[in-house]
Structure 1
């Protein structure tokens, strides 16, 4: 207890075993009147005396060799500042993918243990994969909040189930429902930094970019965090804060400002190509001491990726543009993080602030195709944009709001130097080894030190709890808690323990069936059976994957397979993996990727084929909207056109990089399909609608077999064409066939909107957002007719699968 018990200024710390704490017993006196009575105020709960502020930072899709702090060529002075003022960690690990790493980071438990075996958009109905963090696994936000911290979350939230992201809730799986009092960030895996249509403040979607062409979320987010910290410091200067700061950089789309693109391009960091880049990074890493002097550079995968000298002049030009923009995004993101760190110092709180800065939630992303792409949505729909077209149509606007850009795979491989492989690959260190720096000036005296102990992202929560002297609660909101599975890294803060053995002896890894187990310096792993840039492939028997064995004590980079030399050790580790997998909800193993995007989930649309809107309604996220892909469907709009003519959006989903829109343009009805920003197919009425009531209809008859074919390892039924018919008051006004349709996913960071458009236009030449309908919407109805496989269809698909062929 601090201060006089019962006084308005009284404060107390709790033992933390049960949160929230039970109400304090009234310690005053109550008589029939105030005469003779004595008031007593319950004490305000505060953390233990001297508890530090905590600033937890993590960037996105950034491998070990990206930042200059770990040997990279891209300047990251904010990360460097933390490393020089604290410690640099060289043996720290992620899960190989976004949502899983983040779920593990905020809970201190393995990703399957908290339902995030994959990203939320791929959730399946198994405990390790359903994307629901159950209430027996409270987050660090909840624990610190109920112990008296002011808690906040800025940036990416990829831990709300995609089917629970609607603006109507439920909100228990949103940041504000998981213990974070304030949230400003985007919902889902990524966002358009220029025009973030999935941006929310607390539980309300907001669109601050509209009418603000210079808006960029990377800067706006830093502004928001700084303003919040200043507010907390002004109102409650003695109350510590916990800020979870997780920007979108450097996940695609790579959206830095033009100033940063010029700054990096003028440095000519990448003119010699990706092979030379690896050699440069590797040499830098040895100089810095972040890899051992005898470490070996893993070989370039010549059977998978071209060497730089094999490229044409056009390819080199385009690929340098791609990587310059990526590097600019890295530097820009780090710069804005630096502003947040500086704000802590400006408040006079840097000395007693624990700052944890993790570079990347997984290795650098290889999801940009072998040649890069101006539109990541195209990549996930199996569309490759040739280098020739990239140069012709997108070179000058690369990184602007006209692109949803990603770079070629070989750059990602190079940025994971000295290791092999990339994001998505849990079996090899390129996918899971992350650089990290930690500073706490009041405690860490070994400034500029390097630590090589093996640790994992689940170890951050117990580190924070030990630093703040707060216990893991046994009961939260009346629910008994499962044990935290991480171990504290606080012992490494002491210079005497610089070379101490790691207190994490065992750690499993698994992603899409690719898997590994670490134990006491040994690493057993399955061979990579699917490159991460191949997202649609027939499923394999996961249990037949061949295994490899590495001795990381003598082979830092995982370069020498010892499976043949030590079969008994491999067998021992394989058995240990099965034991850990069973303990942590890893089963059933599943190697599918895109197919999981199409798995039915318990969303608000589940089991429905008819949807009706009787008023304008915006902001329904992609994961909560009805999907019309690979189906026949009919939109019917009952509207009233005002005097002078009607204009505006009736219904739309997606935006500039993939989606559809049904609208009036200068009075004429239009239905537009945007096919990943490479082609637009339109049905247009030739006459403007006169004032009054009208019924518009767009009906599409799909020619394919539908998504069920994926269950048989065949994509034959998806992305096929069909015929669309546009009617006005029962009369056909436009009809045409569309040869191909979008097979897998619309632009995921945009919404389904009725009555206006919240994000980006499906066609910039037709309109600009919000394009609010000027008339009245009485009713918009969508009827979906999803294909059903006949017995003959199933027989043919089964035959093709048994023969190892994919029916086309």
Structure 2
């Protein structure tokens, strides 16, 4: 006999008598999805350019994404915001990035509505919408939509994934992390990776495992319940980490250089129909050297960096394939709407020469070329934080100009694949309709057959800005529904309208032509001059890769488009136009706790992100603790921050007290006590006493004395010529252990302290010296 059910909030339809035999029960109807509702899988790649996937003309093998394209559709006119957090907010909300408070990445928030880094609750996420319709909701991988000051165990948790409609989360909260030793969060708490790299661990494989597990957990209980999986691997963002055998599959594949790569990819794109037959290849970028001008050793190193990247992408494709294979084995794939997008174009954050350790770049201590070449066979492994040079960035965005962070098409046009065998009959075709990532949410809702809610948890919802692409999915000749779209990223502006694209580059069309680099501020007089003279105009319906600036011949049209840009800017909280990088990253922001001179840490607690912890660099400080040493051998870390790429560790080994400072992965400055620790209670202390001024421009932080004390007696001292000038990245601080990639090779992770340790106190004094340019570089390198 079927249960008597009724809609929650309506009148009880049963009968309530004096006793059960006089009564008729009824139950509030459980929330169930409409019968036959499709699953939703959205895959968000990171820093993957238009010319990187095999089905978009690349020689990099991506067979699983290619098979999605064969069973579905590819778009060649999909646009992003050109940067990570802003794009990810659009993909999840269907609203423009400034309306989401995400003008920049969360670390670059400023005190204006469009810039504060806080997605408002009136802009509901797709997870919150589908949860209301009976879906299971999972987020796997990168989030990066949380104000940076809320990434700690102190919360608040209202903007964490579980606070925004995802029932389960497994991944990382920030912009990047090591693929070998990731900073993992499970739901609302930190966890250690289940294995070590030596045991075969890699983050992307772990993420695929968890995705399959989350789906299986739900389906075994309720097979008919649809799921929404937001799958966001850290790939292909730096560090480009991958097992060597995957990189080795591309040995020699890029020896002819980035110009040859572009030419071959462009020809293949025409064969595949993902670019028009009359399209032209954009110019050679002025910031990229000719491959032929480089030395043989540069060829060898830069080609290997690209081999590692290619292996990383193929490895990621393989893990995505494992998820697709599971869905196919369980007969779910045909009724799963699968969408694949990247958050922006390929990244130029490796600089003109690439790097084996980004920490060296933003500490003003770039490694000598000879040092990079010496570790060529280790690139992609656990000891490095590598990124290719920007010649490969330019090539990865073929056929477009420029790259991530800029609103030319190279930064803002990306692959977009849609597959849903049960709902879309066309397959293997290319769609040319104009699209923007704010169209993803309304398209999903349209395909499922539901409307956006008027309220979520009592909060009245704003209007969705995107439009549904459903017509174009079913009809290759469907009319363009998205006719106008503004762009702004750190002062770099653009506007699309009906086949025309106006672009106002900042600081210029290239760094070489501008004579200045990224992050220059825009003042009011500068903005007026830019509006009068710097806008370019491209008829992208006929000039696919923005090769021909026709501003002079179409002055009236350009003026109208500039006016439209300002109208859109007013509508979506784009103003004030802010071209600066430096000011927004170092400006004052809200803090969970006010600054203080004393910090207390406890063993067994969650690690503390670098920007939420005490700032020890370039200032006098001490680290002290009371411990109990037993008769048996006692060892382990008292306090450590950073990784093999740079950091410090205060620890006990061989019954002696030690302190090691790792300078950007290139030099270890260590001091050890000259006496053994006897059994009993002891007060252990480290002090840093500066002895001079830092040389920030050359990557040298303050010189000083490292001093170790046991029970108030000096037991070790070392005069060091310099220290780390700016930051450790990765830079989490841990009490009582050094998990993951250890600061020093003198011990193996996690090297937990085996004596009695209650707490560690860090005491600060003096003025903090910072390199603001370096602070900008580290924040942007995480995006």
TM-score by length of 1: 0.89
The alignment partner of 1:672 has SS state of: strand
Deviation at 1:476, TM superposition (A): 1.0
Question: Which deviates more, 693-702 or 233-242?
Answer: 693-702
Residue equivalent to 2:424 = 444
Q: 2:617, 2:768 within 8 Å by CA — same for their partners in 1?
A: no
What number of residue pairs does the alignment pair up? 759
Q: 2:204, 2:233 within 8 Å by CA — same for their partners in 1?
A: yes
Deviation at 1:737, TM superposition (A): 4.5
Residue equivalent to 1:626 = 614
* Matching of residue 88 in structure 1 with residue 74 in structure 2: yes
**C-alpha separation in 1, matches of 2:329 and 2:768:** 63
**C-alpha separation in 2, matches of 1:718 and 1:492:** 53
Match of 2:605 among 604, 617, 623: 617
| Aligned-residue RMSD, C-alpha | 2.5
Match of 2:499 among 521, 524, 529: 521
Q: 1:651, 1:752 within 8 Å by CA — same for their partners in 2?
A: yes
Report 1:181-220 matches (<5 A): 181-196=167-182, 198-211=183-196, 213=198, 214-220=200-206
* Matching of residue 420 in structure 1 with residue 404 in structure 2: no
Deviation at 1:212, TM superposition (A): 5.8
**CA separation of 1:466 and 1:719: change in aligned 2, threshold 3 A:** farther
Deviation at 1:111, TM superposition (A): 1.4
Match of 1:175 among 161, 166, 185: 161
* Matching of residue 575 in structure 1 with residue 563 in structure 2: yes
**C-alpha separation in 1, matches of 2:9 and 2:666:** 61
TM-score by length of 2: 0.92
* Matching of residue 563 in structure 1 with residue 551 in structure 2: yes
Residue equivalent to 1:108 = 94
**C-alpha separation in 2, matches of 1:588 and 1:736:** 50
Q: 1:642, 1:774 within 8 Å by CA — same for their partners in 2?
A: no
Residue equivalent to 2:309 = 326
* Matching of residue 511 in structure 1 with residue 489 in structure 2: yes
Deviation at 1:48, TM superposition (A): 3.0
Deviation at 1:211, TM superposition (A): 4.8
Question: Which deviates more, 314-323 or 665-674?
Answer: 665-674
Q: 2:692, 2:704 within 8 Å by CA — same for their partners in 1?
A: no
Residue equivalent to 1:710 = none
Deviation at 1:535, TM superposition (A): 7.4
**C-alpha separation in 2, matches of 1:683 and 1:540:** 48
Report 1:215-226 matches (<5 A): 215-226=201-212
Q: What do residues 391-445 of structure 1 show as CA deviations (whole Å, max 9, x unaligned)?
A: 11x11111111111111110111110101111111x2111110011101112211
Question: Which deviates more, 507-516 or 83-92?
Answer: 507-516
Residue equivalent to 2:139 = 153
Residue equivalent to 1:17 = none
**CA separation of 1:724 and 1:590: change in aligned 2, threshold 3 A:** farther
* Matching of residue 346 in structure 1 with residue 332 in structure 2: no
**C-alpha separation in 2, matches of 1:126 and 1:320:** 43
Match of 2:378 among 364, 377, 397: 397
**C-alpha separation in 2, matches of 1:704 and 1:723:** 7
Q: What do residues 731-788 of structure 1 show as CA deviations (whole Å, max 9, x unaligned)?
A: 334444544443443213x521111123321112x11111111222244222223527
**CA separation of 1:538 and 1:665: change in aligned 2, threshold 3 A:** farther
Match of 1:551 among 502, 514, 539: 539
Match of 1:387 among 353, 362, 369: 369
Q: 1:630, 1:717 within 8 Å by CA — same for their partners in 2?
A: no
Match of 2:449 among 469, 477, 481: 469
Q: What do residues 684-729 of structure 1 show as CA deviations (whole Å, max 9, x unaligned)?
A: 22222222233333333457899xxxxxxx9779964131331313
**CA separation of 1:209 and 1:682: change in aligned 2, threshold 3 A:** farther
**CA separation of 1:704 and 1:507: change in aligned 2, threshold 3 A:** farther
Deviation at 1:365, TM superposition (A): 0.9
Residue equivalent to 1:607 = 595
> Structure 2, unaligned stretches of length 5 or more?
773-783
> Structure 1, unaligned stretches of length 5 or more?
13-21, 707-713, 798-808
Report 1:364-763 matches (<5 A): 364-392=346-374, 394-425=375-406, 427-495=407-475, 498-529=476-507, 539-541=521-523, 543=527, 544-545=529-530, 546-593=534-581, 596-613=584-601, 615-702=603-690, 720-728=701-709, 729-748=711-730, 750-763=731-744
Residue equivalent to 1:805 = none
